[in-house]
Structure 1
Amino acid sequence: MATIATVDLRQWRAGGAAADEVCRLVDDGLRRAGFLLVTGHGINPELPARVRQAARYFFRLPGEVKQQYASTQPGLPGWLGPGLEANGYSEGTATPPDMKETLGFQAQTPTGDHDVDRRWFNPNIWPVEIPELRGLYEIYLVYMERLTHELLTLCAVALGQRPDALTALAHNAMWSSNINHYPPLTVTGPAQAGQFRIGPHTDFGTVTILDREPGAGGLQVYTDEAGWEDAPFDPTALTVNIGDILAYWTGHRWRSGRHRVLAPPVSAPDEELISLIYFHDLSPEARVVPLAKPVAVSDRLEPVVAGEYLAAKIDAISL
């Protein structure tokens, strides 16, 4: 899929002409689709494989056991069972519930402000039945935080801005992370009309880092030129897309990557997938002032507050 660029972070770190070429690829790729494949990230594939193995044990627990770890709403830590989220609503599309279940986590850096902390910095919930999951996933999250910092720096430089233009707005980032389980058709039953594992949407924050498994009922990406297409899969790469806040900061030069995950296919009724997803958002109080022309496409956009924007989007997808 030529519209999704592959960038090698080793070339970015090398500096000089190699880094300049990476910046060009990032700018071109995010203008077309809002998606990148990122190699050279330095994450040993054994780590996400071990996380998946532990997560599968959790998702195979009886529903009454998982209910002990239930989240109260999308975006908060804990288990979000089937039927409680429909991502299509975030773009105004009424769809049946997404065909997935999620174990979610939040940043652990409370501010001391009760209202802020109860929304963005709640204690994480770790299932006692799978004791190894916590240690593995906390290591994985450290890698995600480091990689996000590098990606935000790269994005700023690619647009000719100072390297810390974005990271300065994320000193206490509202990151969240999901382990998504997409059960097989033999468990879910046939999809309803217009139903997906995840309905069509854009993400809400800055960058999303996705470690995914290939599948027939997998990720699709939308572009104006080609419509919906299967996203390319590279076992050595992470899939990265930008969200609404970052696209807005660029004055819509870059597009927030629209995507969906197809329903379990009739042709592969036993297909079961697990995705590890890291959503990076800015600090709750961060004031996002969009860039101006000639970098921006849309000029004179009003500033937005990151926490207020993110809260409205998350509320829209809750059923």
Structure 2
Amino acid sequence: MSGSPVPLIDLEPWFHGAAADRAEVARRTDEALRTSGFLLVTGHGVPSPVRAAARAAARQFFAMPTEVKAAYTVGVGGRGWLPPGAEANAGAEGADVAATPPDLKESWTCGADAPTGDPAVDEVWFAPNVWPHEVPALRSALTEHLAHMRALADELLVVGARALGLDEDFFTRHTGHPSYTLNINRYPPLTETGEPAEGQFRIGPHTDFGTVTVLDREVGAGGLQVDVPGYGWVDAPHEPGAFTINIGDLLSRWTGERWRSTRHRVLPPQDVAPEEDLVSLVYFYELDPDTTVEALGPPVGHVAAAPVRARDYLAAKLAAITVH
């Protein structure tokens, strides 16, 4: 971690320390989000067996024949299997998806599924999760992982509110019935994908869309890079047991761009590691879908933006990365 613009922050003092310890964690979090927009956290309380079980069950699913996985095929934002070629994240930055090489990955997606009672909202944001009968362990493993991820994401929003001098529930009062998604991304090896096309990545350059992203990743040659001002593209550091945290567009917008929604990408498979096969657990936390996000002014924020409704913003971004 030495010299990295992405800091490592221990959350143990936040959960169990004195007031001064909690204040210091909040201060360091604010500093990280103002500069790189990324941080690593330890002391988060998520048991390592929970993460290991989720990854192992996902690998069982990904190892099945394509014709079996195909029965669970969905589009971007759906619940099930997102096959290779379905998504091009560079489209979120305005790139022409039709002319952009698709991301070199496959994904299993699940997420919030408790209906609100509004059919128009539930169909898009709270659709029932789908669970493959061929891998019975997947449902229990991912359900447990999701519960830990939501609790951690809410706590990080509380840390953020404290850092800004706001009521600690300033953000979480809008996460009573939030949308969220867990994408389990498999990045196949070079021996499976073949040589990437020009400008093709495992995930193309983009910013995330929601509030908090919690990433449990495997380190590799074709790994995560972050576009940090003053540094350019840098390899994201990796610390065993830590989560990689970044914020998305909605939270950046909410803070008047005090906090940075930072561009990042996942490199294509590399010639130096042709057999490298990585699986990342990526939790995207959002808000109650009808939340109106309005930019905070000084002394918190410094960039005004028109208010947006969370679900409208998110729907437009998901459409932008969909390969038709």
User: Normalising by the residue count of structure 1, what TM-score does the alignment of the two structures yield?
Assistant: 0.97
1:149 aligns with 2:154: yes
1:266 aligns with 2:271: yes
Greater mean alpha carbon deviation, residues 239-248 or residues 90-99: 90-99
Aligned length: 317
Question: Is contact 1:253-1:296 (8 Å) kept?
Answer: yes
Structure-1 separation of matches of 2:295 and 2:287:
14
Residue 302 of structure 1: aligned partner: 306
2:93 to 84, 91, 94: 91
1:4 aligns with 2:19: no
Residue 24 of structure 1: aligned partner: 27
Offset of residue 257 of structure 1: 2.2
Offset of residue 243 of structure 1: 0.2
Question: Is contact 1:23-1:157 (8 Å) kept?
Answer: yes
Residue 55 of structure 2: aligned partner: 52
Deviations 1:192-233 (A, max 9, x none): 000000000000000000000000000000112011000000
Question: Is contact 1:37-1:238 (8 Å) kept?
Answer: yes
Structure-1 separation of matches of 2:306 and 2:162:
23
Question: Is contact 1:219-1:262 (8 Å) kept?
Answer: yes
Offset of residue 93 of structure 1: 2.9
Residue 321 of structure 2: aligned partner: 317
List gaps (5 residues or longer) in structure 1: none
Residue 170 of structure 1: aligned partner: 175
Deviations 1:68-119 (A, max 9, x none): 1111x21110100000100001002343000000000120111111111111
Structure-2 separation of matches of 1:226 and 1:99:
26
Residue 120 of structure 2: aligned partner: 115
Question: Is contact 1:179-1:274 (8 Å) kept?
Answer: yes
Structure-1 separation of matches of 2:25 and 2:47:
22
Deviations 1:252-302 (A, max 9, x none): 011102110000001100000000011000011001121111211214x32
Q: In structure 1, the residue corresponding to 2:127 is in which secondary structure?
A: coil
Residue 68 of structure 1: aligned partner: 71
Q: In structure 2, the residue corresponding to 1:143 is in which secondary structure?
A: helix
Offset of residue 20 of structure 1: 1.5
Q: In structure 2, the residue corresponding to 1:115 is in which secondary structure?
A: helix
Question: Is contact 1:4-1:33 (8 Å) kept?
Answer: yes
Structure-1 separation of matches of 2:4 and 2:188:
30
2:184 to 175, 179, 187: 179
CA RMSD of aligned residues (A): 1.0
Deviations 1:137-175 (A, max 9, x none): 111111111111100100111111110110011111011
1:201 aligns with 2:206: yes
Q: In structure 1, the residue corresponding to 2:150 is in which secondary structure?
A: helix
Superposition misfits of 4+ residues, deviation over 6 angstroms: none
Residue 220 of structure 1: aligned partner: 225
Structure-2 separation of matches of 1:51 and 1:294:
42
Structure-2 separation of matches of 1:47 and 1:141:
10
Question: Is contact 1:76-1:106 (8 Å) kept?
Answer: no
Structure-2 separation of matches of 1:15 and 1:147:
20
Residue 128 of structure 1: aligned partner: 133
Offset of residue 60 of structure 1: 1.2
Structure-1 separation of matches of 2:19 and 2:117:
43
Structure-1 separation of matches of 2:269 and 2:4:
26
Q: In structure 2, the residue corresponding to 1:179 is in which secondary structure?
A: strand
Letter in 1 for 2:24: E
Structure-1 separation of matches of 2:134 and 2:262:
36
